Amino acid sequence: MIDSRSDSRHLAPILLRLVFTLVLINPPLAFAQNYRTDTDADGSSAGADLAALEQSLEQILEQTNTPGLIAAVVDGDQTIWTGALGLADRASGRAVTSSSRFRIGSITKSFTSLTALVLAEQGLLTLDMELAPLIPEAGIDNRWRQTDPVRLFHTLEHTAGFDDIHLHEYAFSDPTISLLDAIQLNTTSRIVRWRPGTRMSYSNIGPAIAALAMATVTGERFEDLAQQHVLDVLNLQHTGYFHHPDVVSSYRADGQTPEPYMHIADRPSGSMHSTAGDMAQLLRMYLGRGRIDDDKVVISSVSLDRMEKPHSTLAAKAGLVAGYGLSNSGNERNGFWYQGHGGGIDGFLSNYAYSPAINRGYFFAINASNGEAVREIDSTLRSFVTRDLQTPPQTPYLSGVNLSAMNGYYQPDAPRQEILRWLELITGTVAITSADDTLVITPMFGSRSLWRPLSEQLLRSKDGIAPTLAYVTSTDGELLLQGPSVGTLKKIPSWLAWTRLVLITLSLLLVISSLLFASVWLPRRLLVGTEFPLISVRAWPVCASLTLVSSFVLLQLGQNVAVPRLATMTLYSMGFWLLSWAFAFASLVSTYNLISRRTERHQMDSIVWWHSLLVTMGNLLLLTYLASYGVIGLQTWSY
């Protein structure tokens, strides 16, 4: 439900990352010609290749233990293939058919934005209408309201500054809940965290608020608006927002464990189901630039252009067309420019992508939360739709552009989940250097990337075809890098980057060392009876270290199946809550114990004393850091 490649309900693999020591071109229009090879100019190889495509997809399902798949490939106004492979239900052995309905998760957002655009064309609303006066009951909390109000397009481009919805909202399952009640399940996600229209941060609450605004101005239920103005016009007879008995069974990543059907609260953000045929119809409309079936107009080409390009971020205002538009994202993949959206929800993953430049597109959905399967299927379909095409030429880079102003350290500054900001600051800070017309971005984790300048603000990746990165300055004077691959990075002093890295690294090393030392002296004390003077000076820092590590082990285990384990009161969620408080208690007791017994330190080995002191200081630093971001005592089932 949250993004195009993954199931956003899952928290990041926290323990693994925490212990990290163990002018320019408008891309879609610039390539508005076919790059067919001479040998395949008529596309006649498609029929022969379809059998191979289907065989490849079947192999992926088998190798990844994914039960079933639906898919479609579109070339211009023709659907050249629809696929229905594998099982709709493992228990009964029922096969996927052309009429099988799969949930499409966040692809739902595309229909929300299409509805908004159609209503705007009809004069019933405007994309820039201010939302707070229109729907005060939504509770938008924006301290920049006087100068930078939240507008309708902000909520659809994810630039309003909202936090994403929280775990307990994902666990909420009620088919009858009203849209307003769904929005009011969580007050903190409606707090604007930065000036609207400066940063993009994916948030499932945004489209729900947009839908409430549409319902308010028309006096009709949003789902009825979408049905009347989009689904019916497109003739999507097997697509809907509410549970349907033909929706296939879904499974976890293992492809075996069933996932229950969740009636998500924020329906405009991710509740829809559809079929391969219906989604092919959507692709044909996109490629037809708003027209379908003998020139029937669904939406104007002008509105479709607006949908496909971001407008409100600082990068977009600087001329970057890559990124998230109105629930339609544009970026390059393997040398070609694609538009589209993906989705993931409760055992379903899906994606659609199309390229106006080559007039082709594809859709697929699987009924298991298997990221590997999605990546392989997506790659296979992309290779198929470009099988007979030459890669478009790169936009030539400009030599001699002064890139040195961009040099320095940058930290993430637009977290999707505010509760994970502390983790992104540790793992997402990057170093940027420049030389020989090349900008080098070096992350703390992962591989470095190389970028070429197209102007003083826009860059493309070294092997890319068009600009996908922008260097901008905010209204508040912040120096930022923005683009689909980096999100928003804010320039920070080098001392801050290094101080944070060194202190947290040393603290984690000390935590680990205390547990390693305890594995030696504790058995000697318990099993052999060896006496250690001032044993409490040794023991309390170890208790603090152990509770810290144990709390994140539980959180890591819980995030693997986040909704049932962390969104309700379970061993995992309660365990993390209790252990995080235990870590705070043990750290404070350890500090008090060391201070109160400092005059007795001559009774124990000086190395042991100093090590205990350093471990205590490390735990205190980690406690302060985690507490400042609300992690200590976090109730994942209700925050």
The 10s digit of each residue's pLDDT in 376-400 is 999 999 999 999 898 888 888 999 8
Q: What percent of the chain has pLDDT over 90?
A: 79
Per-residue model confidence (pLDDT) at position 393: 87
Per-domain residue ranges of the chain: 35-385, 404-492, 496-628
The secondary structure of 76-139 as a DSSP string is TTEEEEEEEEEEEETTTTEEP-TT-BEE-GGGHHHHHHHHHHHHHHTTS--TT-BSTTT-GGG-
Per-residue model confidence (pLDDT) at position 394: 84
Span 577-605, average pLDDT: 92
The secondary structure of 460-512 as a DSSP string is EETT-SS--EEEEE-TT--EEEEETTTEEEEEE-HHHHHHHHHHHHHHHHHHH
Identify the bridge partners of residue 85 per DSSP, sorted by sequence position: 69
Span 59-85, average pLDDT: 96
Contact (CB, 8 A) for 450 and 40: no
Per-residue model confidence (pLDDT) at position 42: 44
Residue 103 C-beta-side C-alpha neighbours within 13 Å: 34
Closest CA to 260 of 189, 338, 347: 347
User: How does the average pLDDT of the chain come out, rounded?
Assistant: 90
- 35-385 falls under which CATH superfamily? DD-peptidase/beta-lactamase superfamily (3.40.710.10)
Per-residue model confidence (pLDDT) at position 328: 97
Confidence at 597, pLDDT banded by 50, 70, 90: confident
Number of Cβ within 10 Å of residue 22's Cβ equals: 9
Confidence at 493, pLDDT banded by 50, 70, 90: very high
> In the predicted model, is pLDDT for residue 533 greater than 90?
no
More confident residue, 219 or 170: 219
Span 528-557, average pLDDT: 90
> In the predicted model, is pLDDT for residue 9 greater than 80?
no
Confidence at 446, pLDDT banded by 50, 70, 90: confident
Confidence at 46, pLDDT banded by 50, 70, 90: low
Per-residue model confidence (pLDDT) at position 47: 65
Tell me the per-residue pLDDT of 229-259, one tens digit each, with 9 for 90 and over. Answer: 999 999 999 999 999 999 999 999 999 999 9
Per-residue model confidence (pLDDT) at position 45: 55
Rounded distance, CA 62 to CA 24, Å?
45
The reply to whether the predicted model has a pTM over 0.75 is: yes
Q: How far is CA 98 from the centre of its chain?
A: 30
3-class SS at 302? helix
- One-letter amino acid for residue 165 of the chain: I
> In the predicted model, is pLDDT for residue 560 greater than 80?
no
Show the tokens assigned to 90.
């493992």
Identify the bridge partners of residue 450 per DSSP, sorted by sequence position: 440
Q: Which residue has the tokens 């208690």?
A: 585
Rounded distance, CA 326 to CA 349, Å?
21
Confidence at 128, pLDDT banded by 50, 70, 90: very high
Angle at 409 between CA 408 and CA 412, to 5 degrees: 140
Q: Residues 6 or more apart from 585 whose CB is under 8 A from it?
A: none
Number of Cβ within 10 Å of residue 228's Cβ equals: 14
Confidence at 21, pLDDT banded by 50, 70, 90: very low
3-class SS at 195? coil
Per-residue model confidence (pLDDT) at position 334: 87
Span 16-28, average pLDDT: 35
Span 71-88, average pLDDT: 96
Burial class for 458, CB neighbours closer than 10 Å (0-12, 13-18, 19+)? buried
